[in-house]
Amino acid sequence: MRKPSFRADHVGSLLRPARIAAARQAGASPAELRAIEDEEIPALIKMQEDIGLKVVTDGEVRRAFWHFDFMGMLDGMEMQRGKDGVQFHGTRIPAVRPVITGELGFPGNHPMLEHFTFVKKHAAVCPKISIPGPSCVHFRTDPSDVFPEIYRDPEILFAHIAAAYKNAVQAYYEAGCRYLQLDDIFFAYLGDPVQREKRNAMGQNPDWLIDRYAWMLNEAIKDRPSDMLIGMHMCRGNFRSTFAASGGYDAAADAIFNQTDVDIYFMEYDTDRAGGLEPLKLLPKGHKRVLAGFITTKSPMLETADDLARQFEAASAYVDMDQLGIAPQCGFASTEHGNALSEDDQRRKLELVFKTAQRLWGEI
């Protein structure tokens, strides 16, 4: 049986190093940008290793968005310029319009396979890559932008999304990935009354969506080899330190914990917008682990070790401490724009993750 090996981790994205940000701003060619990224990513990996983390990523610095880049590289899907970006609290993200133009599939030459192998080549510890979960393809695509007639039947659409992701999981395994994270944040969105009403207005029952999203996720991962860990991240939006949704995990907890074969859950818990800890009681006893996101990436304010210890004590009323670990609530830069904190702030937060794991579990 798979057993998570890590108490200390992070969701994946990191603030873009200054050279990468400047090159993007200056409109560097793909080749020029790739050369700079290839120089900067090993330093990011070393930063994580120097802190003491046993899992490292490339910070997603080759991406503009945590999800759109990956989705636009799938067969049958394009990212087009939209009229309005997705609404966040007080702002909107840049206007991107996902469009399903043909039969969905995961291509064998998907560029993010190379993103992973680059990390693997330069890492002395476990390399991880985070990709958007299957729900993103459905949730972020307006029904009017789904053009293949066959996908007018949502069950066929869900089946094809799941099949594409099953192929992605296998491809990453063959590339040497033993720890793959799926960012399936829309389970958390569907706990927000406003988001639920929007889905109802579209003729999509939010509880039915939660069930179907869980089915897609499980179909994608259920046949993976026994030595491959699957993580799952949930949050309520992360763009320039803002958010898009509020609401607890109550509506989705049973589906995510008991209807999916996920090993590690990254759960946002840095504000009251995430609801209470009670849904954790639905985590089945055994090998599954929740990495509780009590540390925020949305501000430079540094949490204290004592406050974190108290929060984990509260969580242990619902789930055994052995099935808990720690990670920040989200990435530091879900888009190339980054959150409102510095690289020094980011490092201090990652150091706090490491020190908290050592203090509470004696391991990382």
Query: pLDDT, tens digit, for every residue of 325-339?
Result: 999 999 999 899 889
User: Which pLDDT band holds residue 81 (cuts at 50, 70, 90)?
Assistant: confident
pLDDT at 58 over 80: yes
User: Looking at the predicted structure, is the pLDDT value of residue 133 above 70?
Assistant: yes
pLDDT value for 236: 87
Q: Looking at residue 202, what is its pLDDT?
A: 95
Pairing mode, strands 91-92 and 87-88: antiparallel
**What mean pLDDT is predicted for residues 259-277?**
96
Residue scoring higher pLDDT (296 or 96): 296
Given the candidates 3.30.230.10, 3.40.50.1000, 3.20.20.210, 1.10.3470.10, the CATH classification of the domain at 18-361 is 3.20.20.210
DSSP calls for 171-214: HHHHTT-SEEEEE-THHHHTTSHHHHHHHHHTT--HHHHHHHHH
Confidence bin at 245 (pLDDT 50/70/90):
confident
Give me the mean pLDDT over the 344-356 stretch. Answer: 98
pLDDT at 346 over 90: yes
Euclidean distance between CA atoms 69 and 73, whole angstroms: 7
And the tokens for 114?
């190379």
Q: What is the mean pLDDT of residues 266-276?
A: 94
**Which range has the worst mean pLDDT, 20-34, 161-175, 226-240?**
226-240
Mean pLDDT of the 221-230 span: 97
pLDDT of residue 13 exceeding 70, the answer is yes
283 Cβ neighbours under 8 A, 6+ residues apart: 257, 265, 290, 319, 323
**Residue 92 DSSP SS3:** strand
Residue 282, φ and ψ in degrees, nearest 5: -85, -5
* Mean pLDDT score of the chain: 94
Look at residue 10 and tell me whether its pLDDT is greater than 90.
yes
Percent of the chain at pLDDT > 90 equals 87
Establish how many alpha carbons lie within 13 A of residue 183's alpha carbon, considering only the half-sphere containing its beta carbon. 26
pLDDT of residue 323: 97
Q: Is the pLDDT of residue 95 over 90?
A: no
In this model, does residue 88 exceed pLDDT 50? no
- The count of C-alpha atoms lying within 13 angstroms of the C-alpha of 243, restricted to the half-sphere facing its C-beta, is 24
H helix runs in 26-74, sequence order: 30-51, 68-72
Domain segments of the chain as ranges: 18-361
Residues 188-200 have a mean pLDDT of: 94
Asked if pLDDT for residue 73 goes beyond 70, the answer is yes
The answer, yes or no, to whether residue 92 has pLDDT greater than 90, is no
Q: Pick left, alpha or beta for residue 176 (phi over 0 → left; psi -120 to 50 → alpha; otherwise beta).
A: left
pLDDT value at position 87?
Answer: 47
Q: State the pLDDT confidence band at 238, using cuts at 50, 70 and 90.
A: confident
Q: How far apart are CA 243 and CA 205, in angstroms?
A: 23
pLDDT at 80 over 70: yes
- The residues pairing with 126 across neighbouring beta strands, listed in sequence order, are 55
Residue with tokens 């899992």: 55
